[in-house]
Amino acid sequence: MRLYLVQHGEAKSEAEDPERSLTIRGEEETRKISGVAKRLGIRPSRIYHSGKKRAEQTAGIIAEAFGLSAQLGQGLNPNDDVHLWVERRFGDGSCIH
């Protein structure tokens, strides 16, 4: 199993939107990235996001492109140690290494 980390698309400024939603450009960028991933043969089985609105929106766009749903994942907030995901085990017994 492979782990791909994707940063959220361009977000609005905090002054413009305190929740920092994606801009139209951020949504378009995310759709483009999804297309590139598909052309490269990347086929995620799960998509997780932090609780940040921009991350949830980004994950939702990617999930839609792959016919999946996005789920809230622990340890994906800014400044979290992503190495915790390296040995994460899933309910079906699979594991990311």
Instruction: Please give the residue that has the higher pLDDT: either 45 or 95.
Output: 45
| Alpha carbons 6 and 1: distance in angstroms, whole number | 16
Beta strands (DSSP E) in 8-93 are: 47-49, 70-72
pLDDT at 36: 96
* pLDDT for 91 beyond 60: no
DSSP 89: B
Structural domains of the chain sorted by starting position, each given as residue range(s) with its CATH number in brackets: 1-97 (3.40.50.1240)
The tens digit of pLDDT for each residue in 23-81 reads 999 999 999 999 999 999 999 999 999 999 999 999 999 999 999 999 999 888 888 88
* pLDDT for 94 beyond 90: no
